[in-house]
Amino acid sequence: MTDDLVPEDLRKEYTREEILELEKKFLAPAVGHYYQDPVLFVNGEGAVLEDSSGKKYIDLFAGICTTITGYNHPKYVSTIKWQAERLVYTSSLYATIPYAVLVKRLAGIAPKGLSRSFIVNSGSEAVEAALFMARKFTGNPYIIACQRGYHGRTTLTRELSSAGWRTVPEAHPSGVRFTPFGYCYRCPFGKEHPGCDMECARYLREVIRTQTNNAIAAFIAEPIQGVGGIVQPPAEYFKIVHEIVKEFGGLYISDEVQTGFGRTGDKWWGIQHVGVEPDIITLAKGFGSGIPIGGFVTRPELADDYTTADAFATFGGNPLSCAAAVAVIDIIQESNYLERASKLGNELKKKLQALQEDHKIIGDVRGQGMMLGIELVRDRETKEPAIQEMLQVMEHCREKGLLIGKGGLDNNVVRLQPPLELTSEQIDEACSILGDAFSKVEK
């Protein structure tokens, strides 16, 4: 294939201003960009993005926790090209090689007992599909979600997400009920861990007994909340909650859209760090490392209950996305990303903790592997969220060539969820820029 076959206006060299002008005229204004002066990215390599002026940025946010293999990984790009030259699409009404190879790969890396997958196009769809299956299997409408969690943008997944990300009428027709998450920095019970008896986890029993018919279809939680601001409960939280979920006949869904594929270090899935065996895990983001794909993996008896009519998705399981996801899994294995995420994650966390000693704006440093958060506060005693300062920190970092994410209900948490291709040198440089940004806003 030659470049001249590519539409000319895709190949043209635009200025940032030209593209922003096109967006202003033709894009739905709801599509918002980060930064006062949005950036136009044109290239990427490893954990580095390049803008239209040739300026380079270390990317500690990976799009939104998505490009797990970094940019332009040769194996990833070659696999996509190879598949595109053969068959981009046919539906799952027909068998294709990439879909079959991918689900075999997933069974090989999924937590114990989970061997059957269904592939869709995004995290929201994956969660929808998993919940549909859980309700069908249990015959129960009630779903328990965690406060401050985020599960997507479809009608049901919005209702599972905490206020602020929900933006739908409050009627709760969907049977969704909320239980506290283990957010120790801002404990909803005003307690301190350890020594708190994990009231946040035990409260689930109260929620089920007072707000359901004493039985539930499913409990859904992220092992570490991502959008919620990198909130990681103590491991006991999950063990206690899991026991209660089972007592009331529910399925445990671990939403691994952000925590999956080695991001938390050493293991493929976040839930494997806390000794709980989920019934279903939901996947997206790093699954395709940028190519849209989502899905779930579950136990055979749950999958058997799911019928063809329940499971159709026009683009779900398409050859191009599945081939890309197979390459992603292989790259993670071949490049030892699991170990790398743990080693480099520890390195980064230590450096962030050192920054915390020097900067009073840092209230908390938390997370695991390559999923770390820095909660910014105006005052360490009152813990008033540093919302404006967060925006200033982001702007400073952008100026100096560092991309970070933001999260939390108050948008005062720096989210660091980089490609796993990140290097120690990039960590040093990123921490130096972050340190300067904190000094600047503390003045």
Ligand X SMILES: Cc1ncc(COP(=O)(O)O)c(C=O)c1O
CA pair distance 357, 128, nearest whole angstrom: 43
Cβ-proximal residue to ligand X, closest one: 123
CB of 186 to ligand X, least distance (A): 20
In whole angstroms, the minimum distance from the beta carbon of 126 to ligand X comes to 7
Strand 251-255: give its sheet, edge to edge: 116-120, 294-298, 280-283, 251-255, 218-221, 143-146, 176-179
Question: Please, which residue, 159 or 222, has the CB nearer to ligand X?
Answer: 222
The Cα–Cα gap between 102 and 319 comes to 10
Cβ proximity to ligand X, 32 vs 54, nearer residue = 32
* 248 vs 252, beta carbon nearer ligand X: 252
Residues sharing a CB contact under 8 Å with residue 57, sequence separation 6 or more, in sequence order: 39, 48, 49, 50, 51, 398, 401, 402, 403
Nearer to ligand X, 152 or 250 (CB): 152
Residues binding ligand X (CB under 6 A): 122-124, 127, 150-153, 222, 226-227, 255, 257-258, 284, 294
Rounded Cα gap, residues 282 and 293, in angstroms: 11
Minimum Å gap between C-beta 400 and ligand X is 26
Q: Which is nearer to ligand X, 227 or 355 (CB)?
A: 227
Sheet holding 405-407, edge to edge: 362-368, 371-376, 413-416, 405-407
Sign for the CA dihedral angle at 182, 63, 124, 126 comes to negative
The CB-of-255 to ligand X minimum distance in angstroms stands at 5
Output 165 or 248, the one with its CB closest to ligand X.
165
* 3-class secondary-structure state, position 100: helix
**Residue 208 C-beta: closest distance to ligand X, Å:** 22
Residue with Cβ nearer ligand X (127 or 325) = 127
Q: How far is the CB of 353 from ligand X (least distance, A)?
A: 25
- The residue whose two tokens read 């954990």 is 47
Shortest CB 285 distance to ligand X, Å: 6
In angstroms, what is the minimal distance from the CB of 243 to ligand X? 23
Q: How far is the CB of 368 from ligand X (least distance, A)?
A: 15
By beta-carbon proximity to ligand X, the closer residue of 125 and 364 is 125
By the 10 Å C-beta count (0-12 exposed, 13-18 middle, 19+ buried), 401 is classed as: middle
| Under 8 Å between Cβ of 200 and 180 | yes
- Measured in whole angstroms, how far is the alpha carbon of residue 279 from the centre of its chain? 19
C-alpha pair distances (Å), 326 with each of 101, 106, 322: 7, 9, 6
Cα Rg for the chain, rounded, in angstroms?
A: 22
Alpha-carbon distances, residue 282 vs 182, 224, 257, 326 (angstroms): 21, 14, 6, 17
In this structure, are residues 284 and 122 in contact, taking their beta carbons and an 8 Å threshold? yes
**Between 146 and 201, CB nearer to ligand X:** 146
